Chain A
Amino acid sequence: MVSSLAEPLLALRNIRAGYGEAVVLDNISLELADRGSLAVLGRNGVGKSTLLLTIMGFTTLRRGNILWQGRDITALAPHRRARAGIGWVAQEREIFANLTVEENLTVAARPGRWDKRAIFELFPRIGERRANKGNQLSGGEQQMLAMARALMTNPALLLLDEPLEGLAPIIVEELAGALKRMIRDEGTAVILIEQHAGIALSLTEDAVLLERGAIVHRAKSADLMKDAATLDRYIGMKIKA
């Protein structure tokens, strides 16, 4: 397959979006190939979460359009986008507190490779806690469940909003391992927002840097990793290669 000629899985064209009257994102264009992976980096409040919310259809879109597998989904309701194959892991995890762990998974289930059995293999801790309520989980377990729940929809594209934020190093390692498996072995396309720029860039192929609602830099992740000056300028951090 010649990937450069193939239709992109997801394409944003000239997006302007925000909340009600407030415009947060402007002039955003990007493409993601099938099985592609993209890191989205940027400081706090630049609009990273808003970008994912816009792809899901939760923001006010003022301009531009969104194509999914070549089809215009600009006007499609969020639940239809999810059913079309876009999985979303929200920044705040948003586990259903009154549902059990198992119910959190079954409400999202759609046929495909990821079922409860496969999930419990990927995250054995989730399996152990299956009968617990969502609000009885630790932060790390919540994050695993949020990712597991999105996988239950058997997405072709997974949108991950800071999945490693605020977690203990050992959990970060476990989740990063699972992510790697998803991207490399399963071929799930991923858009990954992450404060741990080092991990994000090592997991992905491409990267964009966001500042004040606009894309200010595009690069291959491997190249950006070595470009300390750019990283320092836009996200104010140096990373160890």
Chain B
Amino acid sequence: MKIELEVNGAAVSAEVTPRMTLADCLRHELHLTGTHVGCEHGVCGACTVIVNGDAVRGCLMLAVQAQGAKVTTVEGLSLEEGLTPLQQAFKHHHALQCGFCTPGMLTTLHALLTDEPEASEERIRDVISGNICRCTGYVPIIEAAMDARASYQQSRGDK
């Protein structure tokens, strides 16, 4: 069956089976492989994408459920060239090693900091505890998120 949705600002359509997950649709049908799949059962958070403003597990949502939705993936969070302040903060704090969990971390944090640019360290830890990183020990990820808050506070102020 065919679905129509908006992905990273562009209207797209995809031919999907009823059982196809949103993550598989993005990866295999729309060739947006930045969204990763680490467990397919909703625990690791690697597949997190932003659907209508909320961080959502792409492996727990069916592609057909995304009919008409606005979806943002890690590719959509990225600039034409260079790094966003959140990405820059990750690089600066060495908040990634193998990079496999990173797209899910970035989408989760982007959704959080867009809504709550003042989020406390505890709040950030709490939200990120739904995303598994096996490499970093998380400490640098929290540091990066704390650092990136300023840019979200500013862009909220700009609005």
Asked if chains A and B come from one complex, the reply is no
Interface residues of A (CB under 8 A from B): none
Interface residues of B (CB under 8 A from A): none
